[in-house]
Amino acid sequence: MVEAIARLSPGTALRQGIDDVIRSHEGALIVIGDPEELSFLYSGGIRIDQPFTPQLLYELSKMDGAIVVDDAISRLAYANVQLMPDPTIPSDETGTRHRTAERVAKQTSALVVSISQQRETVTVFLGDARHQLDPIATVLAKANQGLAALETYVKRLEQVLTRLTALEFQNAVVLDDVLVVLQRAEMTSRMVREVERDCVELGSEGRLIRAQLEELSGTLPQQEAAVVSDYQATGDPETALAQLAELPYESLLEAETIQDLLGFPRSATPIETVVSPRGYRALSQIPRIPPGVIRRVVAELEGLDAIARASLRELEAVDGVGAVRAREIKEGLRRLQEHNLVERYLSM
């Protein structure tokens, strides 16, 4: 549905035509898909087969019946078509146009757009999904509220990440510290995804929102993935991240659920279980160290503490490191530790 909404967001030719229809107080039923595959639904109609333009879409909306557009939204195939979907398909819609749109969407793989003449609303149907487009001003207000909330989430996440880094260099991390970081990181990621969906609906009107979002989200996905890779007891990190993203909000607030995803037994007490980072997150913060090299360093030296204590010769011996990268790793970890101490001091 998000991809479908992107196809008719502000800035697209389709959206321009839809806006023209609304401004003229007309209604329309637009079906987007393969015209030949959809032909079994047609009754009557006029074959147009002309290049798609917003102006032509607007003119054709003045006729009764549906307008059929090819899947690439490059050609207007038919107009004034009476659609005959399966009447046994259940529908909660009350208006004839919306009811037809819902049934066509459920019966086929087509994207169906219904424009209400009386309410001047646009409803998108795709399969069993339904979404009504809000006015741009409403979506902008919602996106700005989301950005404000996201800024707060990011600040809180940075606080717990700074604390985790300090504890890592002190070998004092317990499982509870990790669970708190992952909980905050996933809540922040969900807020990012919420604003991203608003940006999709805003299209070209959301350029500024999108720039602010990119600035705030930064390396959040990489940081969250690195924390899982650092501390997961058993299992695959990508699977754990996918499961974490699918958790209901109530489950996300339960530390035991995240503990399960990381492969720790329920018998492990988070505030008493000492854990050690493998070093993925710390090494990823050092510039110009490729992911493949990070994986080999972690595999060879087995833990951040061992990596930090390793000599230049030991680091050079790792495949792909060499003398230059060995010095960069040593210097990078030293700067990271010093920067972290300064950050903690200033935040006290």
> Which tens digit of pLDDT belongs to each residue from 218-249?
889 999 999 999 999 998 999 999 999 999 99
Q: What is the pLDDT of residue 336?
A: 86
Q: How many C-beta atoms surround the C-beta of residue 195 within 10 A? A: 24
Tokens describing residue 21: 């229809």
> Which tens digit of pLDDT belongs to each residue from 264-308?
999 999 999 999 999 999 999 998 899 999 999 999 998 999 999
Q: Is the pLDDT of residue 348 over 90?
A: no
Burial pattern 131-156, b for ≥16 Cβ within 10 A else e, equals eebeebeebbebbeebbeebeebbee
Q: How many C-beta atoms surround the C-beta of residue 165 within 10 A? A: 23
Indicate the domain borders of the chain. 2-133, 134-275, 278-348
Q: Is the pLDDT of residue 346 over 60?
A: no
Tokens describing residue 295: 């994986």
The pLDDT-based confidence of 340 (bands split at 50, 70, 90) is low
Q: What is the pLDDT of residue 42?
A: 95
Q: What is the pLDDT of residue 302?
A: 83
> Which tens digit of pLDDT belongs to each residue from 113-170?
999 988 889 999 999 999 999 999 999 999 999 999 999 999 999 999 999 998 998 8
Burial pattern 272-303, b for ≥16 Cβ within 10 A else e, equals ebebebbbbbbbbbbeebeeebbeebbebbee
Q: Is the pLDDT of residue 71 over 60?
A: yes
Residue-averaged pLDDT of the chain: 92
> Which tens digit of pLDDT belongs to each residue from 21-63?
999 998 999 999 999 999 999 999 999 999 999 999 999 999 9
Cα–Cα distance between 103 and 128 in angstroms, integer? 9
Domain 2-133 -> CATH class: alpha beta
> Which tens digit of pLDDT belongs to each residue from 160-210?
999 999 899 888 999 999 999 999 999 999 999 999 999 999 999 999 999
Cα–Cα distance between 327 and 313 in angstroms, integer? 10
Tokens describing residue 124: 């998108």
Is the Cβ–Cβ distance between 114 and 122 less than 8 Å?
yes
Q: Is the pLDDT of residue 341 over 90?
A: no
One of 1.10.10.2120, 1.10.10.60, 1.20.1260.110, 1.10.230.10 is the CATH number of 134-275, namely: 1.20.1260.110
Q: What is the pLDDT of residue 343?
A: 54
CATH 3.10.129.10 fits 278-348, yes or no: no
The pLDDT-based confidence of 94 (bands split at 50, 70, 90) is confident
